[in-house]
Amino acid sequence: MHDASCCGPGYASPAEAMRAPREKLLYSIAIYTGTGIQKPDYLVTIDADPESETYSQVISRLEMPGIGDELHHMGWNACSSCHGDASMERRYLIVPGVRSTNLHIVDCGTDPRNPQLHKVIEGSEIKAKTDLSAPHTVHCLGSDIIISMLGNAQGSAPGGYLHLNKNFEIVGRWENSMGDIKFGYDFWYQPRHNVMVSSEWAAPNTFMPGFDLEEVGHLKYGREIHLWDFAKREPKQTFYLGEDGLIPLEVRFHHNPDSSHGFVGAALSANIIHWWKDHMGTWQWEKIIDVENQPHPEWPIPVPGVISVILLSMDDRFLYLCNWLHGDIRQYDITDPHKPKLTGQVWMGGLLGRAPEVNGLKITGGPQMIQLSLDGKRLYVTTSLFSTWDNQFYPEIRTNGGCMLMVNCNTERGGMEIDPRFVVDFGKEPNGPSRCHETRYPGGDCTSDIWI
């Protein structure tokens, strides 16, 4: 139930989550894959306590066993959806390698400041048992875990969903059918409406070498989102988004489990698509935000924003998005989800020259992944999208590395401002410049918990 306490350190409701203590530690992915440095990708622990002498510094590093994983997204073994199983606690991070298909199970509970590797599920085992590869989004599902897999064992679409039990053993494929779905990427479920929504990127064999605009015209990238019958584990309805929904990536439902409202960011068309269930019980969608392309002297066509990520504040009031190529982070008030209002905007990198230096640091890349504090007041931003895409659009990132900054967010009237104290420069890592991607907190965060 929504008003009952969850497993371990879970929260009773989104409102209670917002009153949780301030985050003291951050976990983020650091990537050497694609940089030319033959070292493993690794998980960093960052001190986020402003009273600490090591504030905004990397205080520990956990290398993965192999080289070339391309760590990307990660997720907790437990969240508020595992209510009812008192044995569960938010202790383990599942850290997938998109290229290797290896799943690294990291123990963050024994010593939160120094996570340790608990187990590795080899990609070869996953491919052999499920014919799946390229893991992406991790969500807990009650006491179990499901992971969106972007390809089959040969790297072709559409992939499917890997099902693990709470002991990190392969159960098999979660879905009973993929229907007519062409591609996979992100997903989010809302149990009270018996619905899961999934989005589309491309086949691993298409996106891993880099981006080719012609392949969009050849229909090798997605432009649909899919509504699933969650109980039956099969898709039941597809929204064709057309030119308004080119490459729909991150999907987010409201945190309120009674709500049917959700959003997806269409990267290439730089639009936000909103969906909901109307009073007749019919699912609808509309375009609510349109970021205009911008001219660039070195581009033959105007530069699209490339909305690479979105998230919602825990109270469902604000939507945040990043335009990875333009270089801006935006805050919208979505109190009325049909009529969003732009309430804040800051610049961090990008191709438009609006933010060549921030906090004394030259930003290479653009704002890419974001994670919001539970109280909604601090937004942590990193700059790497995917190694081959980074190298293509921001070639200097090979030598400059990535970075993490923090944006202070006004939760009363809206507004954003980059914090001058918080800078994590991944260009100065001990083994050479690395890149940073997704961020998680030990106590849970705005993009992992799903309430039932």
Each residue's pLDDT tens digit, 182-195: 999 999 999 999 99
Q: Residue 50 has which token pair?
A: 């402003």
In a domain, 446, yes or no: no
**In the prediction, which pLDDT does 434 show?**
98
Provide the number of structural domains found in the chain: 1
User: For the chain, how far is it from start to end, CA to CA, in angstroms?
Assistant: 6
**In the prediction, which pLDDT does 3 show?**
33
In a domain, 7, yes or no: no
In a domain, 369, yes or no: yes
Separation between Cα atoms, residue 89 and residue 86, nearest integer Å: 8
Cα 57 to Cα 204, 381, 405, 430, distances in angstroms: 34, 15, 12, 13
Domain of residue 64, residue span: 14-440
In a domain, 1, yes or no: no
* Closest C-alpha to 198, from 144, 231, 163, 150: 150
The answer to whether the beta carbons of residues 378 and 329 sit under 8 Å apart is: no
Q: Is residue 7 predicted with pLDDT exceeding 80?
A: no
Q: Is residue 443 predicted with pLDDT exceeding 90?
A: no
Domain CATH for 119:
2.130.10.10
Task: Quickly count: other Cβ atoms within 10 Å of residue 339's Cβ.
Answer: 11
**In the prediction, which pLDDT does 344 show?**
98
In a domain, 433, yes or no: yes
pTM for the whole structure = 0.96
In a domain, 30, yes or no: yes
pLDDT grade for 81, boundaries at 50, 70 and 90: confident
Strand, helix or coil for residue 393: helix
Separation between Cα atoms, residue 378 and residue 446, nearest integer Å: 11
In a domain, 60, yes or no: yes
**In the prediction, which pLDDT does 360 show?**
85
The answer to whether the beta carbons of residues 441 and 23 sit under 8 Å apart is: yes
In a domain, 448, yes or no: no
Provide the sign of the torsion angle of the four alpha carbons 137, 239, 320, 83, taken in this order.
negative
Task: Quickly count: other Cβ atoms within 10 Å of residue 232's Cβ.
Answer: 12
Q: Is residue 279 predicted with pLDDT exceeding 90?
A: yes
Q: What residues form DSSP beta bridges with 379?
A: 372, 407
Per-residue pLDDT reduced to its tens digit, 286-324: 999 999 999 999 999 999 999 999 999 999 999 999 999
